[in-house]
Structure 1
Amino acid sequence: MKRSLLPMALMLALTACHHDTPSATGKVHVTLDGVVGGAVPVAGVPVTVTDHAGQHTVSAVTDARGHYSLVVEGSGPFVLTAPAAGGDGAPVTWSAAFVPTAGQMQAVANINPVTALVTQRALGVVPQGAPATAQMVGLTDARVATAAKEVAGVLAPLYAAFQVPAAQAVDPAVAADFQAGADTPLARLLSVVHFDLPEGAVSVGSDADRAVVSIPAHGTLSAAVPTTAATSALALANGPTTTPIQHVIVVIGENQTFDGLFGGYAPPKGQTVNNLLSEGIINADGTPGPNFALAAQSQAKPQTGYTLQPERAGAYATLPQPQQIGEMNPVTFQAAGGLPDKRFPADLPNGPFQITRYVPYINAGKSGLDAAVRTGDPVHRFFQMWQQTGGDNHKLDMFTWVADSTGQGGDTKGVSPANPSQGGELMGFMNMSAGDAPLFDALAKQYALSDNYHQSIMGGTGDNFFAIATADVPFFNRDGKPVMPPANQIENPEPMPGTDNFYTRDGYEGGSYVNCADPKQPGVAPILAFLAERHVPSKCAPDTYYLVNNYNPGYDMDGKPQPIGPDNYNYPPQTVPTIAEALAKKGVSWKWYTGGRDAADVAAEAAAYHVSVAKAQMLQYNNIGDPLAASSKVMGDPALKSGLAGLATFDADIAHHTLPAVSFVVPKNLDSGHPGYSAPASYEAFLKDLLAKVQADPQLWAHTAVLITTDEGGGHFDTGYIQSVDFFGDGPRISMLAVSPYARKGVVDHAYQDHASILKFIERNWRLSPLSARSRDNLPNPVVTPAKPYQPINGPAVGDLMSMFQF
């Protein structure tokens, strides 16, 4: 049908709708088949059908495409409802009205935001779950027809612009070809139009042409969507991105949990946050709060086997003395061992403590390396973190004892059963209510903060950076095929005889691989049992040894293959699909900028500290934070390899207006915020400089999203819920800030997210498919209930960060 004929066809259809097709009389028996979805499918949720008498029929949960099917018996009209997430991630009910016709045996009934507007208008209320019997009694075929006509009238210019077939414009539930994200008129429309169902608001178009129309459940309707807004929405649908965001810059610091950094954050009025302060664990001045006991740490009895729930042996009287482990001397660049850090009392109360009650947040009047106030580096390894959190973090009390009894593993220099070199340092936190972390505090209040964003993998840096690039984990292989690694590199977290809990084989120079498909392997059975209880697939392929702790990539920064063997702590080149390959295939520009890759990145400090540029690069370059250097496809393709650059290149790309569409930015080690050799204040200084450069270019800033996070929590204490996604994680919460003109101002977003959410945001914005059949970017967006806003009911599920923005 020609576009010019669409308005007339729609008018004729609306006129026909006014007379209404005769509906079935008495009870009917109909098979309903449809899709729950808008911009993306709503997977893992049941569909409830309520008949005219208020009787319910409930489907099995929707599949990955949002598809459902069920047989309905009863009297019409019927209302279909499904739990979903609003544009802000909050729980909403999507609905659709179905009016059967005489003799009808099968029908399509999709559920999407437009069908919900029609149903809300027909009911006269915004349903919260299945409608009540009294509401259904007042629902008639004529009310459904009138509501459909009203909604279609407001949206008519939008339907015309997208050439939505007239029948679907009148009843958007009946599109047999509908699939969220597909290249069909209605699906394309839903991919770029934004709905606030509780308010009945529809946002159409972008920037100066954006318009918001009102279709409330009752009362006066807005005038039709302005033609300029409809045209703007169509341009967005036809353009390279589904949102006005043309540049994404992902900045990844290191090793801070959400409570470790935002534990004392007080959000703007009207917002809520889940942290140490809001839970009453601490007071605003950092002292123990009325619920301090919730975070009390327990000791455990000596263990005879690896377990996620060690038998408790009573609470600590006071925290163990914080240790100096990993603290770098800025003159010698050497790290301290496991000695008491006498800046902190030996009798700290048993729970979280404010670090800056004992050391300053920053050395005032100092700059560079001398400005950072370094503290000890807690253990952050895979099996330790599983044991610390028990998988879901519902008890909170094993963080300290596990760290104190295992350390970084005996395959790490300086760590032994007699001195695991860990203390109470992991219970320390920064207190924004007392002035700590002022930039993070200001960014959260001005832009959007997530208090439910998680590291993807239990444990440390390497795997979590790899997950940011792949939504997957590396494995030991030869030419891409799984093979067994050297025996000394296989994890064994079973307690060493004669120790409380010191692992048999674990550490940075040894145990780091696990064959997690085999429950007979050390440490595997308890985790598999935990997952089975929650019906969560392990994602462990048979006879595959996955890397779960830090090893170096299989190539150096120049692409030279690294040795693989029992005395080499490098993992083999990987064939796991990467975001770099996907972006390149789509024709979307990208770069991964890692501090220290460019010689110019370290020239100043090399001169200041009288070391060679090569030594400065070795000190500052985060090789395990450069995960694309692990990919044989990236390192073997000159075009892809050219996307790996340093921070001097990033600065030049901004200055020359050549910044790619997608940028990943990793600070130099000493600016990363990593405890031991850096500090949060150093990461803040890096971010302040980066944001100033981006915002200094108004054209760039106008359509950019800067996503600020860390790779993982560094083993620090955190109180947040953890969702089990597979054998490898999720892990504890870490911070995520969305800094953009389009970020929801001052909002604390509760939608469940992890590192795959970054990839999902990129993929949704640039219309990319998931990276592989097993990558986590296949997981659905989370749906929650008002009673449990942090825990998806359709898990495993992770969001796509879109709830942090208002377009």
Structure 2
Amino acid sequence: MNKKLVYATPIAIATAIGLYACGGSVATLPDIKSVQNVVVIYAENRSFDNLYGQFPGANGLQNVTAASAQQLDRDGSVFATLPQIWNGLTQTGVTPVVTQAMTANLPNAAFAIDDPNGFNTPISATTRDLYHRFYENQMQINGGKNDKFAAFADSGGLVMGHYTLNADKLPLWKIAQQYTLADNFFMGAFGGSFLNHQWLVCACTPVYPNASTSPAATSVSTVDPDGVSLTLASNSPASALTGPPKFVNSGNLTPDFYAVNTMQPPYQPSGNKAASGGDANLADPGLATTLPPQTQQHIGDLLSNAGVSWAWYGGAWGAALSATQTGTAGVVYGANLSAPNFQPHHQPFNYFADLAPGTTNRATHLLDGGMNGASFIADIDAGKLPQVAFYKPQGNLNEHAGYTDVASGDQHIADVISHLQKSPQWKNMVVIVTYDENGGFWDHVAPPKGDRWGPGTRIPAIIVSPLAKQGFVDHTQYDTTSILRFITHRFSLPALPGITARDNALAANSGKPMGDLTNALNIAH
């Protein structure tokens, strides 16, 4: 029997942690300075409704009406049925195989991917990938109505898919029940993994100076006057029922040369090889997708300036770097679906000049998480984590649709949390588990209106700590920058410029600032 979710009142919280004193007074709660270690685990590509839409007490699918889930075609008309899932839900080699033809005539509504009376595709099966790009995400959100996800997708009706889960099926669900699940947490930026990793570490959007006269000139997007919509090509299908949209140019750069879709790091390991005869530590700057080194201030700079230890642990980082040096870089260059499927654009600090190859900064702060997280786990077990640690699981363990499944990554992260709970550093630790972005999956909650860059679609976030409120669903408004807010609050660091700009934009749109995650903790405010 599932344990009933308990909503924690202040007295219940104090009682649960032994602070409710005889005679009716409450002892002083610890303050944020009691947090000695912050661990951020960053998974991939799931909207809140996709995984946690049926979590008790959360704002989930029980609040979705037929009208609020209904999707519109590109001309604004209501779909009679959802578009087919182009190229099928799953492909040959995945059980069960669900072809495109088998997805015809889906009702215009949210649906369970794992419904035994439907596609019966469990979380252990890899489904096809979906659009998750900067402009397309904004077009899908459609001003907060969330009604054009199917219209501006390359996966048809799959955008409306979710899983029917519980603590018996999803290990992290059980952990969320024990600690705090945030159900009002949004991805920091519109679009995909590349940009949201940048927002995780600097609350900023990368730049490509003078892109119009660079190798990336053809990557400049063609955008309508509204600044948020891509210009449709003349041969784009009129209806999403007959095919995915075609754009004049959905590139990696904005018209004013910000990098918003996947660009490769200038340093190895990168998705681009070194130039012929060039420095083997660098990616070829003559390739259109190599981003020049970035110089914006990031959270690592603030931590280092304050004398706070920190590190980014990249799963399979060492193996990927070795592969670039030995000429066996199939795990890095180009499309590769074999384990560990390392993704260079998921390593945000590798884009910054102050962490370039050969620097002390790099050797100190960019660490190998090991295959299957083994090196990260070794530091956990030994109590050797720095004060702030980011962990990025390798590709086959990150839950990204298209090249891995939900179950493998979810179990891996739950296993990592088990090690953290046994760590000598656990008693003063806060662990934040979240996803970089929605992966193209629909969510019914409208993102708050912020700045040009975001926030985007709602994603899951779990706060795990001895200080976390137990059995608690936190409805506070958060986004990816809330992680930076928490770190800067705890270590008394200055605010990053992007966070200040985000709050100003939220206020200008009659909104409120993002929270800093402290409402998820039993600490004095």
TM-score using structure 1 length: 0.54
Q: Which among 166, 186, 189 is matched to residue 457 of structure 1? A: 189
Q: Is the 8 A contact 1:387 1:398 kept in 2?
A: yes
Query: Structure 1 residues 263, 621: CA separation in 2 closer, same or farther (over 3 Å shift)?
Result: same
Q: Which among 120, 131, 134 is matched to residue 359 of structure 1? A: 120
Determine the structure 2 residue equivalent to 1:160.
none
Determine the structure 2 residue equivalent to 1:367.
none
1:116-195 equivalence runs, <5 A: none
Query: By how many angstroms is 1:446 displaced?
Result: 0.7
Determine which structure has the larger strand proportion and give its number: 1
Determine the structure 2 residue equivalent to 1:573.
293
Query: By how many angstroms is 1:765 displaced?
Result: 0.8
1:721-736 equivalence runs, <5 A: 721-736=446-461
Q: Which among 440, 444, 456 is matched to residue 715 of structure 1? A: 440
Distance in 1, matches of 2:130 and 2:267, equals: 28
Residue 795 of structure 1 pairs with residue 507 of structure 2: no
Distance in 1, matches of 2:13 and 2:403, equals: 49
Query: Structure 1 residues 599, 561: CA separation in 2 closer, same or farther (over 3 Å shift)?
Result: closer
Distance in 2, matches of 1:707 and 1:588, equals: 18
Residue 630 of structure 1 pairs with residue 351 of structure 2: yes
More divergent stretch after superposition (582-591 vs 492-501): 492-501
Q: Is the 8 A contact 2:253 2:259 kept in 1?
A: yes
- Partner secondary structure for residue 41 of structure 2: strand
Report the identity percentage.
29
Determine the structure 2 residue equivalent to 1:776.
499
Distance in 2, matches of 1:716 and 1:599, equals: 31
Determine the structure 2 residue equivalent to 1:418.
none
**Cα RMSD for the two superposed structures:** 3.5
Determine the structure 1 residue equivalent to 2:164.
431
- Partner secondary structure for residue 733 of structure 1: coil
Residue 318 of structure 1 pairs with residue 81 of structure 2: yes
Distance in 2, matches of 1:802 and 1:780, equals: 17
Query: Structure 1 residues 484, 258: CA separation in 2 closer, same or farther (over 3 Å shift)?
Result: farther
| Structure 1 residue ranges without an equivalent (≥5) | 1-89, 91-194, 215-220, 237-241, 282-290, 302-311, 332-338, 363-371, 408-421, 516-543, 604-610, 784-790
Query: By how many angstroms is 1:477 displaced?
Result: 2.5
Query: By how many angstroms is 1:211 displaced?
Result: 7.1
Max radius of gyration: which structure? 1
Q: Is the 8 A contact 1:779 1:796 kept in 2?
A: no
Query: Structure 1 residues 253, 452: CA separation in 2 closer, same or farther (over 3 Å shift)?
Result: same
Q: Which among 683, 686, 701 is matched to residue 409 of structure 2? A: 683
Determine the structure 2 residue equivalent to 1:112.
none
1:68-79 equivalence runs, <5 A: none
Q: Is the 8 A contact 1:464 1:711 kept in 2?
A: yes
Give the paired residue count: 472
Query: By how many angstroms is 1:470 displaced?
Result: 0.2
Query: Structure 1 residues 675, 432: CA separation in 2 closer, same or farther (over 3 Å shift)?
Result: same
Distance in 2, matches of 1:754 and 1:576, equals: 20
Distance in 2, matches of 1:552 and 1:796, equals: 34
Distance in 1, matches of 2:212 and 2:302, equals: 27
Distance in 2, matches of 1:641 and 1:263, equals: 40
Cα distance per residue 1:249-280 (max 9 Å; x no partner): 10111100011111122x2xxxx32111x21x
Cα distance per residue 1:467-520 (max 9 Å; x no partner): 001011101137xxx8865431110121112323521011xxxx22114xxxxx
Q: Is the 8 A contact 1:597 1:617 kept in 2?
A: no
Query: Structure 1 residues 373, 571: CA separation in 2 closer, same or farther (over 3 Å shift)?
Result: same
Q: Is the 8 A contact 1:622 1:669 kept in 2?
A: yes
Determine the structure 2 residue equivalent to 1:673.
399
Determine the structure 2 residue equivalent to 1:695.
421
Report the residue type matching 1:319 in the other structure: L
Report the residue type matching 2:131 in the other structure: V
Query: By how many angstroms is 1:600 displaced?
Result: 9.7
- Partner secondary structure for residue 321 of structure 1: coil
More divergent stretch after superposition (637-646 vs 348-357): 637-646
Query: By how many angstroms is 1:341 displaced?
Result: 2.6
Determine the structure 1 residue equivalent to 2:247.
503
TM-score using structure 2 length: 0.81
Q: Is the 8 A contact 1:322 1:340 kept in 2?
A: no
Query: Structure 1 residues 350, 593: CA separation in 2 closer, same or farther (over 3 Å shift)?
Result: same
Distance in 2, matches of 1:328 and 1:806, equals: 47
Query: By how many angstroms is 1:572 displaced?
Result: 1.0
Q: Is the 8 A contact 1:581 1:634 kept in 2?
A: no
Query: By how many angstroms is 1:746 displaced?
Result: 1.5
Distance in 1, matches of 2:264 and 2:465, equals: 34
Cα distance per residue 1:572-622 (max 9 Å; x no partner): 11001111111111111111011111239999xxxxxxx997434665222
Q: Which among 148, 154, 160 is matched to residue 398 of structure 1? A: 148
Determine the structure 1 residue equivalent to 2:284.
563
Determine the structure 1 residue equivalent to 2:367.
645
Distance in 2, matches of 1:746 and 1:547, equals: 40
Distance in 1, matches of 2:142 and 2:407, equals: 31
Query: By how many angstroms is 1:639 displaced?
Result: 2.4
Determine the structure 2 residue equivalent to 1:548.
260
Query: By how many angstroms is 1:322 displaced?
Result: 1.7
Report the residue type matching 2:307 in the other structure: G
| Structure 2 residue ranges without an equivalent (≥5) | 1-7, 223-229, 239-244, 271-279
Q: Is the 8 A contact 2:320 2:331 kept in 1?
A: no
Q: Which has the higher contact order (CA 8 A, sep 6+)?
A: 2
Determine the structure 2 residue equivalent to 1:345.
103
Cα distance per residue 1:439-466 (max 9 Å; x no partner): 2321221110111111111111100001
Determine the structure 2 residue equivalent to 1:61.
none
Q: Is the 8 A contact 2:172 2:414 kept in 1?
A: no
Determine the structure 1 residue equivalent to 2:253.
513
Determine the structure 2 residue equivalent to 1:23.
none
Query: By how many angstroms is 1:671 displaced?
Result: 0.8
Q: Is the 8 A contact 1:601 1:646 kept in 2?
A: no
Determine the structure 2 residue equivalent to 1:260.
50
Query: By how many angstroms is 1:345 displaced?
Result: 3.4
Distance in 2, matches of 1:345 and 1:764, equals: 48
Cα distance per residue 1:228-251 (max 9 Å; x no partner): x6xx97xx6xxxxx3322111101
Query: By how many angstroms is 1:374 displaced?
Result: 0.7
- Partner secondary structure for residue 73 of structure 2: strand
Query: Structure 1 residues 778, 663: CA separation in 2 closer, same or farther (over 3 Å shift)?
Result: farther
Report the residue type matching 1:634 in the other structure: L
Distance in 2, matches of 1:436 and 1:717, equals: 24
Cα distance per residue 1:376-430 (max 9 Å; x no partner): 1111111111111113x2x232110111xxx3xxxxxxxxxxxxxx321111101
1:456-475 equivalence runs, <5 A: 456-475=188-207
Query: Structure 1 residues 245, 645: CA separation in 2 closer, same or farther (over 3 Å shift)?
Result: same
Query: Structure 1 residues 637, 588: CA separation in 2 closer, same or farther (over 3 Å shift)?
Result: farther
Distance in 2, matches of 1:693 and 1:655, equals: 7
